[in-house]
Amino acid sequence: MLIPPPLSLYVHLPWCVRKCPYCDFNSHEFRGGTPPFDAYVDALLADLDQDLPLVWGRSVHSVFFGGGTPSLFPADAIERILQGASARLRFTPEAEITLETNPGTAEHGRFEDYRRAGVNRISFGIQTFDDATLKTLGRIHDGAQASAAVALARDAGFDNFNLDLMYALPGQTLAMAEDDVMRAIELAPTHISHYQLTLEPNTVFAARPPGGIPDDDLAWDMQERCQALLADAGYAQYEVSAYARAGRQCAHNLNYWRFGDYLGIGAGAHGKLTLGSEQAIARRWKQKHPTAWLATAGTPASIGGDERIAPERRPFEYMLNALRLAEGFTLAAFEARTGLPGDAIHARLAVAVDAGWLHLEGDRVVPTPLGQRFTNDVVALFLED
């Protein structure tokens, strides 16, 4: 029996000052003047109106403004989005509301205004504090500006913030990777995301890879050393790339990884929704290009695709998310989220346990350190036959 899980709202804001050469997000350099903020906000609310019948009566537990560079948007635009959303949907009183911020766009007064607009969590795209590497990455800020942006947010009263770091960067040594993590810890964030740089297809880095990218062994050493530094400083790893102080995990991302539901509004945004009455799980995504989406938002033409996740595919999709988590999952959660009986995965679970990838802790299925290293292989076991 499918039971509707917590609901989140993802809002995609697609523009950036400059496109970074490693980035394959749906982000677009805006050339000439300022992006059409007002028209975009109107379009977001029309987009939300169109999706509302899928979530009647449900409450929103978290909102995430992702990008692109959401911090390009002025606070009054963010406020209008939040006011419009809360007029259409019930927000829980403790709802986590995160805004992604590029340190190169931080300026005095901005963070106060974002707080007044209702944002209560900031996620900074720091990447590294090393100035030469920031240049190679095409970033618009240096290390000092990154630290200064965090100080501005803290002064404005934000006590809940994340720093995004990347490792295995061009020319990076183990000591440099450790130094980045230590500098991040000094800024006392509640959360750190630590991503291995990947060369994504259709990016400048994939076409012309920069020299000096650490090999797999060095990348693995970096991840292990940084994980230890973070643990010593009180940041527990709870997902492949996510570390948090106690009680400060990202509620929004946790909901994704626990196979929760989310509405996705804005250019290219994806949503996943449990439809209790139909006993179905729907995925819906929007037109990807901002211009195409803006021209059609709120109409069926803005929908890039709409599909149901077939029951046979649900175990794989569930594992793709849940096995990223250190906590793993319970069979009861699997049943509630997929609508399938636990029997549907017993044989495959047994194979993974025999391989030393998963182990059982009471009613929990938890990835072992080996399983965490080979997540893709474990997840592949659950592909439909």
Ligand X SMILES: C[S@@+](CC[C@H](N)C(=O)[O-])C[C@H]1O[C@@H](n2cnc3c(N)ncnc32)[C@H](O)[C@@H]1O
Helix (H) / strand (E) containing 376? helix 375-380
Asked if 303 and 47 touch (Cβ cutoff 8 Å), the reply is no
User: Residue 19 binds which one of ligand SF4, ligand X, none, with CB within 5 to 8 A depending on kind?
Assistant: ligand SF4
Would you state the structure tokens that stand for residue 104, as one six-digit string? 């190169």
Shortest separation between residue 332's beta carbon and ligand X, angstroms: 33
* Binds ligand SF4 (CB under 6 A): choice among 13, 16, 242, 269: 16
User: Residue 220 binds which one of ligand SF4, ligand X, none, with CB within 5 to 8 A depending on kind?
Assistant: none
- 10/318 with CB nearer ligand X: 10
Number of H helices, E strands in the chain: 15, 17
* Binds ligand X (CB under 6 A): choice among 195, 220, 316, 374: 195
Angle separating helix axes 314-322 and 343-354, nearest 10 degrees? 50
What phi and psi, each to the nearest 5 degrees, are found at residue 137? -80, 0
Q: How many angstroms separate the Cα of 375 from the Cα of each of 168, 175, 237, 278, 367?
A: 19, 27, 15, 32, 8
How many residues touch ligand SF4 (CB under 6 A)? 11
- Residue 73 backbone class (left: φ over 0; alpha: ψ -120 to 50; beta: rest): beta
User: Residue 105 binds which one of ligand SF4, ligand X, none, with CB within 5 to 8 A depending on kind?
Assistant: none
DSSP 209-254: PPS----HHHHHHHHHHHHHHHHHTT-EEEETTEEESTT-S-HHHH
* Binds ligand X (CB under 6 A): choice among 127, 237, 287, 338: 127
Shortest separation between residue 139's beta carbon and ligand SF4, angstroms: 7
Helix (H) / strand (E) containing 318? helix 314-322
* Binds ligand X (CB under 6 A): choice among 4, 18, 19, 25: 25
Q: Which stretch binds ligand X (CB under 6 A): 72-80, 197-205, 316-324, 364-372?
A: 197-205
Q: Report 88-107 residues binding ligand X (CB under 6 A).
A: 100, 102
- 199/355 with CB nearer ligand X: 199
* Binds ligand X (CB under 6 A): choice among 8, 26, 62, 69: 69
Binding status of residue 166 toward ligand X by CB under 6 A? yes
Q: Give me the helices (H) in 187-215, please.
A: 204-207
**Which residues make beta-bridge pairs with 165?**
127, 194
Q: Report 63-122 residues binding ligand SF4 (CB under 6 A).
A: 67-69, 102
Q: What residues line the site for ligand X (CB under 6 A)? A: 22-23, 25, 66-67, 69, 100, 102, 125, 127, 164, 166, 195, 197-198, 200
